[in-house]
Every structure is written in structure tokens, then in C-alpha cells.
Amino acid sequence: MDTLYIALNVAVLVALIGLLIRMQQKHYSFSKRVFTGLGLGIVLGAGLQAIYGAGSEVTSQTTVWYDIVGSGYVQLLIMIVIPLVMVSIIQSIINLEKSSDLGKISGWIIGFLVSTAMVAALVGIGSAVVFNLDASEIEAGQAEQQRGSAMESQLGDIEGMTIPEQILSFIPSNIFQDMTQDRPTSVIAIVIFSMIVGIAVLGLRRKKPDEAALFTKGVNAVFAVVMRIVTLILRLTPFGILALMATTVATTDIAGIMELGKFVIASYAALIVMFMIHLLLVGVFGLNPMTYLKKVLPVLSFAFTSRSSAGTIPLNIQAQRNSLGVDQGIANMSASFGATIGQNGCAGIYPAMLAVMIAPSVGINPLTPEFIIQLVLIIGISSFGVAGVGGGATFAALIVLSSMGLPVALAGLLISIEALIDMGRTALNVNDSMLTGTLTARIMKKLNLKTYHDKTAIEQETAV
């Protein structure tokens, strides 16, 4: 009987995918199809949970089939991340009008990412204080204890790393290993390697212009092919969001959310405040925040459901270029750097909230200026190299809590709501990288204001 129910559930998903395909054939806009997929996924997931229960065998086996569409789509995006980052960075540098612009662009991008992460830390501290979060109030079950033990074992891999050693980890020693995304800092390593290649071509252009021209022509051709692959994959976005959202809602632990509801509310309050700060910055730089919001929402919807900053890089770059009017080189760099540096949600708000709620358990007052200053500085430094996939927040928490002398095992108490809050964190991370690209382009006078203000440009990220 279970097999029949599973087949029926899969048939429902297929029917909804058929509906989205029909919408595409009727030329409904990309954003409308994305949000329709999001809404249908929520309804489908809620239906599965209401009928079968979150932990039932039927729900579990159904979501395994749904993962073919949802996780399959995310894997396709991750597949193209490294080729896209590598080729787009090289192409951006060799096509720069002024080689001196490279240093300025990189400086502004990294500056925005790290500074917003430090502001996010202050927001996280404030939210933890306002909601009076206290780790001692949370009961630890078997799953939470196991998660805490796992975090302590993970700590052994990174504990004792000095700041110079962390910086050294960004430099690639085996570029082929980093192409497999084997390390948390693999994307940064690929960016550094690509920048070196681009700079080498600029030098070669002065000494051997024919060879440089041949290489440039080849890179431009490869870039065109990679971007075509990206376009083909992004057309699947509504289907991926539908399946991902259905799986997330169907398997959500409602009881765990109710028990840790205060932390969930405090987390999303902090995320919303930081998001409002992002929009405020857009306004400060003379741009319409509502125009920006409308154009980034489809990207943020995918980031929210996929929980992968790295996986969102292709959609991020396309939206910055085609919807916001950001210069191609700046869009490539901000999306690539933003996937691993200065993540406001995972590396800023989350570890700051954990530090404030855990500190009293070991007799530390988290409201002293010394504690707050130290915490913000550590978060700014440690925001380099946070993996842009699920689990990056845990990595950031391990670094920050251990640097502050706080027990990392207590962070395992939040395992039951990890997925729910990670969705919002990832959306904020991605928004920060898009904000960084937009503001950097504005400062460097490389923002196409006509495209930015063009309301129809929001649909062009999946254009043929």
C-alpha cells in the first residue's frame, strides 16, 4: 500500500511540473514561474506532512524521489560553479580597460563583504539580547548530544589555526584538488588562481600580443559555451524550487520548531533587520531599493530553498548582469567572493547569536564592551572562507566559539531547527553578494542605470 501512496505522490509532483511547463509555453514571466513553484511546493509539502506525517516511511520515500528533481537541480548548478567562476574571472580581467581597476574592484568587494558581516554580528548580538536567548533553557536530547559531540570532533580539525594559517589556506597548492571543491576555501582558491592567470595574460599582451590575443579569443569562446550551459540549467529553476520546497516542508520537525520557537523568531528578526540595512545601503548610494528588491527576489527564492550560496552563483551572476546592470567582471567577482567571504547570515548573525546565548553558561557576561568588540573582530576575520554550502554556518560557529573560549557542543542544541534558519541565512548571504556587486559597480561607475531601472530586465536572466 505504501508503494501506491508513494507513486501517487510522485505523480502529483509530475503533474505540477507539467503545470509549470505549460506556464512556460504560455510565456509567463520567469519570476511568476519561480514564485508559483515556491507556492506549489509549500502546499504540496504541507499536504504530505498533514496526510502522512513528517517522519513516516511514505514521506521519507516520497522525498527520495522528489530529490531527483530538487537535489538534482542543485547538483547541476554546483557542477557548473567552478568552470563558471574560473572562466568568468579570467575573462573579466583580460577584458578590463584598465588593469589598475582590478585592485580597486577587489578592494571594494572584499571591504563591503567583511564590513557588512561585522554589522551583521552586531545585529545578531542585539537580537539575542532583545529575545533574552539562553542556552541553558534548551533541553538536550540524544540527537542534540550527538550533534554536540560531532561538533567537538570537528573542532579538532580547525582548532589552533592562527590567522596567518587561515589566510594561507586560501592560496591554492593543488588547483585540481580545488576544482573538486574539496576544501572550504576551494572557491576562493579558484578565484585567486584565475586572477593570476588573468594578470599573466595582461603581461603577455605587452610582450607577445599574438599569443595573448589567441588565448583571449579561446577564453571568450569557452565563456560563451559556459554561459549557454548556465542558461540551460537556470531554465529548470521553477521545477527545482518546487521539489526542494515540497521536501523541506514535508520533513520539517514542527515539534522542534515549537520548542525552539524563540530562537527561530530571534534569528529571523535579525535576518530581516539586516536585510533592511542592505536596502538602506542601496538607497544611500542613490538607487531605488524597491527596484533592487523586485529584481533579486527570484534569486533569493532559490537561495532560500536550496540553502546553497555556492549553488546560487550562476543565477546570482546572471541576475546582476541582466537585471541589475552590474558590469560583468564585477558581477563575476562579487558572486564568487560572496559565496565564501563575509556571509552575513552564516558567518555574521548566527555565530554572534550563539556566542551571546552560550557565554552565560560559562560565567561570561556577553554585554561587556570587551566581549562585544572581540566577538565582532573575530567574526570579521573568520568570515573569510566559510563554505558556501549547507554546513557553512557550523564551520563559522566552530571558529568563532573556539576563538572566544566558549564550548562548541552547546551549538548542537539547535539541530532540530537548523534547516529552517539556514534557509533564511543563505538568502541573506546571497543578497549580500548581490548588494556588494551593485554598490561596487555604482562606485566604479560600471553600473548600467538604464538596465537597473528597466522593469522588464528582471526576466532576462533566462533569455535564450
pLDDT over 90 (residue 291):
yes
Please state which of the ranges 69-73, 281-285, 401-405, 425-429 shows the lowest mean pLDDT: 401-405
CA-to-CA distance for 148 and 223, rounded, in angstroms? 44
Banded model confidence at residue 135, pLDDT cuts 50, 70, 90: confident
What is the rounded average pLDDT for all residues in the chain?
83
User: Looking at this protein, which amino acid is placed at residue 385?
Assistant: G
| pTM, 2 dp | 0.78
Q: How far apart are the first and last CA of the chain?
A: 45
Q: Rounding to the nearest 10 degrees, give the CA dihedral for residues 188, 184, 308, 442.
A: -20
What are the residues whose beta carbons fall under 8 Å from the beta carbon of 58, sequence distance 6 or more?
2, 5, 6, 9, 52
Domains plus CATH for the chain? 2-462 (1.10.3860.10)
CA-to-CA distance for 52 and 2, rounded, in angstroms? 10
Helical segments of 159-260, H only: 163-168, 175-179, 186-207, 209-234, 237-251, 254-259
Higher pLDDT, 227 or 20: 20
Q: Give the per-residue SS3 of 354-402.
A: HHHHHHHHHCCCCCCHHHHHHHHHHHHHHCECCCCCCCHHHHHHHHHHH
What are phi and psi for residue 169, nearest 5 degrees?
Answer: -70, -15
Residues pairing with 447 in the sheet: 326
Higher pLDDT, 92 or 218: 218
Cβ neighbours around 180 below 10 Å, total = 10
pLDDT at residue 91 in the model: 84
Judge contact between 203 and 101, C-beta under 8 A.
no
Cβ neighbours around 290 below 10 Å, total = 11
Judge contact between 41 and 63, C-beta under 8 A.
no
Residue among 30, 120, 75, 116 at smallest CA distance from 334: 116
- The top-scoring range by mean pLDDT among 88-97, 283-292, 325-334 is 283-292
Higher pLDDT, 186 or 355: 355
pLDDT over 50 (residue 463):
no
pLDDT at residue 134 in the model: 79
pLDDT at residue 137 in the model: 56
pLDDT over 90 (residue 384):
no
Q: What is the pLDDT of residues 147-196, one digit of tens each?
A: 445 544 544 555 555 557 666 777 888 888 888 877 767 777 888 898 89
- Classify residue 88 as exposed, middle or buried by CB count within 10 Å of its CB (0-12, 13-18, 19+): buried
Output helix, strand, coil percentages for the chain, rounded to the nearest 5.
80, 0, 20
